[in-house]
Amino acid sequence: MNTNSSNANCTTNQQNFVEYPIRALKFLLKKLKINELFKTHIRDPRSRVDDYNLTSLLMHGLITHLFRSPSKNKFHLHLLRSNASRAVARFNGIEKTNSPCARTLDDVLVDLNPDDFHPILPSIFRFLCRQKVFLLHPEFIPQGEYGIAIDAQVTHTYYEHSQHPCKICPYCLKRTRGDKVWYLHFDLVASFIAPNGLQIPLLFHRIRARPELGRLGDDEWKQECERTAFPVLLRKLRYEFPRLKLCIHLDALYATEPNFSLLKALGMGYSIVKKAKVLKTVGEDCKGLKLFSPPVKIDKESKRFRIHQTIHFFNDVVYRGHHLHVIQLDEEAEKKPSKRFAKIQSKKTHWEWIVHQKLNNENISGSSTKSRVRWWQEDLFNDLQCRGFAICHDFNRAPNAQSIRIYFILIAYAISSILVHSTFGRAVLARGYTISFMMEQMLTDLIYLADSIWDCHQPFQLRFGKDPP
């Protein structure tokens, strides 16, 4: 085989993918075997199948969120264009010349079991593991540990006049303040996070309604919901990935003795944010030890900042039988002068974490850097709410169908994240596009260039970061 010819063909094909990103999306969906995952795990409740098989209907629901449509009606308006319905049908593997309407899909989603969608997100992550993405790119897993962030968000808010069946919905958590009554859906999400921003949602758990939660204040209610669901999600995570070396990134809410014991029992590492009002005895011990431990000072530069770090670390701080290791990081970031703004601005910040590994002068810099990736989870929620996925929009009012829509959105997010952080995804974004614009542009290419975008037969590989040595 001519290696130079193969490399040239691969380069040509990557250029074709950059010119028409919809080709890259189609290629990725085929590599991830999304159709096969739907066919394997989702049971069709219909006794008779007329025009559309279940897999094609689910793919139609998925691409609604892949192309960042803010509502079903907005996506349907795209299908009214000439040949659009036929092009989308072909993309989803539908033999008919027309795509299904929103009502056809909604009628099927109502009868599906949301639990059937549970294995799909872990399967997408296992695909990356089988492709040796993390073995070939160890920068994705600092210190050999797979970073997993767990956090919760409110996805939907309803009132008594809303058309959602709040009083019979098993997920509507009733809240009251005086005469005001409203209902919330509260979801806990666990996702893989890498320092470069690659995020793959792995597990999704929706809190079920309990009468005793309605009597709690807002802060206590949120904490109780998260603490109740956390052990369930953590055990599911270990069941799905029994052999992976996991490091769980959590906020200060989870810094409790039962959680330390559970993480230890499941063989998981952790990095938990520590606040002044949490674990006060540990804070007092660290305050005393700080007088006898010299700090580690690190100076580094980024593209826009000069960074000065002062790090204190403390090993084996005893708390209720657990030996905790604490990091205290003080950072001063000084902005470099630019052509537009000559004035130098500086910002001081302070962080503290409780970590599972023993600390020393050699690993303290890497440990503090690794602990900061938890903030990517906050960015995930911002993406889901504000950057095209519209997770707070009421796509379906039936509780089962709405939960399935959340799975569609998380699967679409995982696919988009893989696409964006691949080499050809970065090449498209280098043109100055935003992620949302790139995904919307794919739908336009699919509609208007339906016959020509598939003329691409050269070999291609899914690559991330720099090529391994």
Q: Which of 440, 427, 450, 351 is nearest to 13 (CA)?
A: 427
Closest-CA residue to 363 (of 192, 198, 145, 199): 145
Mean pLDDT of the residues in the chain: 84
* 99 touches 77 (CB < 8 A): no
pLDDT of 4: 47
How many angstroms separate the Cα of 355 from the Cα of each of 143, 229, 267, 296? 13, 22, 14, 17
How confident is residue 89, by pLDDT bands cut at 50, 70 and 90? Answer: confident
pLDDT at 27 over 70: yes
Count other C-beta atoms under 10 Å from residue 322's C-beta: 15
Q: Is the pLDDT of residue 146 over 90?
A: yes
Rounded Cα distance between 173 and 213, Å, is: 8
Residue 246 DSSP code? E
Q: What is the pLDDT of residue 315?
A: 93
Give the span between the Cα atoms of 189 and 407, in whole angstroms: 11
Confidence at residue 215, expressed as pLDDT on a 0 to 100 scale: 65
Is 326 in contact with 282 (CB distance < 8 Å)?
yes
Element (H, E) at 326: strand 322-335
Strands (E) across 67-198 are located at 146-159, 173-177, 180-193
pLDDT in tens, 54-87: 999 999 999 999 998 888 888 888 888 878 888 8
Q: Is the pLDDT of residue 468 over 80?
A: no
Residue with tokens 């005086």: 178
Please identify which residue in the block is written with the tokens 């010119």. 19
Please state, in angstroms and rounded to a whole number, the distance separating the CA atoms of residues 442 and 367: 39
Q: How far apart are CA 19 and CA 452, in angstroms?
A: 12
pLDDT of 6: 45
Residue 170's CB is within 10 A of a number of other CB atoms, namely 11
Contacts 24+ apart (CB under 8 A), 228-233: 229/152, 229/188, 229/205, 230/150, 230/188, 230/254, 230/259, 231/262, 232/205, 233/150, 233/188, 233/190, 233/203, 233/205
**Which one, of 379, 380, 374, 412, lies nearest residue 124 by Cα?**
412
What is the Cα 56 distance to its own chain's centre? 25
Q: How far is CA 411 from CA 27, 38, 200, 455, in A?
A: 16, 12, 9, 27
CA atoms of 123 and 32, how far apart (whole Å):
9
> From the CB of residue 248, how many other CB atoms can be counted at a distance below 10 Å?
25
Asked if the model's pLDDT at residue 355 lies above 50, the reply is yes
d(C-alpha 331, C-alpha 310), whole Å: 6
CB 64 within 8 A of CB 408: yes
**CA 100 – CA 382 distance, rounded (Å):** 31
Residues 1-17 have a mean pLDDT of 49
| Extents of the domains making up the chain | 3-115+399-448, 119-384
**Residue 380 structure tokens:** 């995930």
pLDDT per residue over 367-378, tens digit each? 998 888 888 888
Top-confidence residue, 263 or 167? 263
Say yes or no to pLDDT of 127 above 80: yes
Q: What per-residue confidence (pLDDT) applies to 119?
A: 94
CA distance 401 to 395: 9
**Going by C-beta distance under 8 Å and a sequence separation of 6 or more, which residues neighbour residue 383?**
389, 413
State mean pLDDT over 436-460.
Answer: 71
HSE-CB at 253 with a 13 A cutoff on CA atoms is 17
- Joined together, the tokens standing for residue 384 give 């889901």
Residue 147's DSSP bridge partners are 247
Architecture of domain 119-384: Alpha-Beta Complex (3.90)
83 torsion bin: left (phi>0), alpha (psi -120 to 50), beta (else)? left
> Closest Cα to residue 113, out of 344, 407, 369?
407
pLDDT (mean) for 257-276: 92
Determine the Cα–Cα distance for residues 240 and 221; give it in Å rounded to an integer.
29
Give 369's contacts (C-beta < 8 A, 6+ positions apart).
142, 195
**How confident is the model over 156-202, as pLDDT tens digits?**
889 888 888 888 888 888 888 888 888 888 888 999 999 888 899 99
